Chains A and B, each alone.
Chain A
């Protein structure tokens, strides 16, 4: 094992997959010599050359469209969208082309779109969003959102090897803030499998991405009050691991859903409906959600701190659930 930051884990996965398969290539804005806005691809240009590390024009529909067309040809493109917010410019290509081509034409579209997502970096309304819910609704796209270096590397490798269009939501808040153990040998994390990040019997938190860290901190604090919290990290949003969700519900009977994305129309609502449909008789309390409020993401530190979920908010929701 070795210790890597979250961003190093992403870089390593890209590097190793490019070494492994010559059909894997990268395209995106400023990813070449500059190494990308967040330096995920630093050194790639020199090693793999400009044909496989392509600096593109600043046009997201063209980037995602080109990735989709190349994927239909059997290449394995990985498109970097500089900030996940900008994926709205490539929305049509993703939802009308990438997502539908296999179903319409029986031609696989093995591509990955990397989406540096989320707030907490004072990026303001245009550099901070979590757009996963826009795509959660689209049949034909797979969505993954790692929370640890281990999952970041393993899920990215699986995504690159998968024969479908995959949106890879990477938390730029976590990039250099967390470190974790990662195997030195080649490994993958299966897409569609959730992971119990902490075992517990009293309350289940269902979460992903940054939410995992607030949840683990809150669970740790509640140890002192003898409240035993389970933290289920979805890791994949589509396909979603229903079995893992239902089995955790059946174990604890109390559910808190945590995500950084805003509340209304967020994927927490769908998870709540799945639980209600399938595990109603196992519930001992209403399903609770912690998410960001329904406003654009604010810039000023005072406002952003108020906007984002955090350990304290998770803790307070857990305490109210514990009372049932």
Chain B
């Protein structure tokens, strides 16, 4: 049944044709997607060596969603990434070294060893790393959006959630509040087919997760999350809309989690056919081909990018491995702020 709301949604979300992406920006997309993948490969290597503790998570398949969306933000905007968006931290200005320190739980890391992986927050960079369970981030992102609005900053908040995370009550509560209060929130559901081992068929029966936007009276759209330029343009549109005071947008970005939930999980429950389908849509491979065809990328340029990334990762790993662990006395005193 069509109503006013659905009409509004389809009208709002014609991607702007004049939304030009420069060659330089395309190279930035490529660089950051590669950095994201190589960073996680390094983390996996260190995990297998026993240097990274706890867990290691792969975002393979999600690079276009994380990078394309993060590039739609301005410096004064806020980022609430989840664990499949490590590259978004770097786009927002976090250093490879700091994040590596955080994975290793070292005292000089952003979370000072009180927490690990992408779990930290940096008010200066306006990054609020993931919270578990992930859905609990959305009400918090609302609070940041509300305060930002009260301070008249004209900033927006970009938050990500998974297909699984969209089932928790916080998702509903937060979108109800954000829509009524017209908060500048962009919520991207990264539908990567699986929540741990649970297939999306057991998570929802709607055709598109963005259909849920109708229920909140907000804009919603479903896009191919492996297309970095499409993700960028869509998010940019939503960001501009939120900045104008038109309230939140729900974007479903359809991707595939190409590895298990974490390093311990071999994802043997994923049918081979599904994996094969998505392998052909590897966001980095596809984009690399496109940039070669557009003569923006060459073998020489590619090698330069990859060796620069490797240099950064080697340096960051070296610093992180040789950095001290925190001591209990410091941690014990920091339960309350002064």
Q: Which residues of B contact A139 (CB under 8 A)?
A: 335
| A56 contact set on B, CB distance < 8 A | 177
Q: How many residues of A contact B (CB 8 A)?
A: 41
Q: Is the CB–CB distance between A66 and B142 below 8 Å?
A: yes
The reply to whether B174 and A65 contact each other, CB–CB distance below 8 Å, is yes
> Given A57-B173, A61-B169, A164–B143 Cβ distance below 8 Å?
no
- Tell me whether B14 is interfacial, beta carbon within 8 Å: no
Most B-side CB within 10 Å, residue of A62, A70, A142: A62
User: A residues within 8 A CB of B172?
Assistant: 59
Does chain A have a CB within 8 A of B51? no
A92-B170, A140-B335 known; A69 and B147 CB under 8 Å? yes
Q: How far is the CB of A133 from chain B (nearest CB, A)?
A: 19
Are A107 and B114 in contact (CB-based, < 8 A)?
Answer: no
Q: Which residues of B contact A285 (CB under 8 A)?
A: none
Q: Taking the nearest CB of chain A, how far is it from the CB of B81, in angstroms?
A: 14
Instruction: Decide if A82 is an interface residue (CB 8 Å cutoff).
Output: no
Q: Which of B138-184 contact A (CB under 8 A)?
A: 138-148, 150-151, 169-170, 172-174, 176-177, 180-181
- Interface-facing stretch out of A6-14, A95-103, A153-161, A256-264: A95-103
CB pair B121 A64 closer than 8 Å: no
Residue contact A67 to B143, C-beta cutoff 8 Å: yes
Question: Is A163 close to B, CB under 8 A?
Answer: yes
With A57-B173, A105-B111: A65-B139 Cβ-Cβ less than 8 Å? yes
Provide 21 A-B residue pairs closer than 8 Å at the C-beta atoms, listed in order of the A residue: A25-B150, A56-B177, A57-B180, A61-B170, A62-B142, A62-B176, A62-B177, A65-B173, A68-B143, A69-B139, A72-B128, A72-B140, A73-B144, A73-B151, A93-B139, A96-B132, A97-B136, A106-B112, A139-B335, A142-B336, A163-B337
- Interface residues of chain A, those whose CB is within 8 Å of chain B, are 25, 51, 54, 56-57, 59, 61-75, 77, 92-93, 96-97, 101-110, 139-140, 142, 163-164
Known: A59-B177, A104-B120. 15 other contacts (CB 8 A): A62-B139, A64-B139, A65-B142, A65-B170, A65-B173, A66-B139, A68-B143, A72-B143, A92-B170, A96-B136, A102-B337, A104-B121, A106-B334, A107-B121, A110-B337
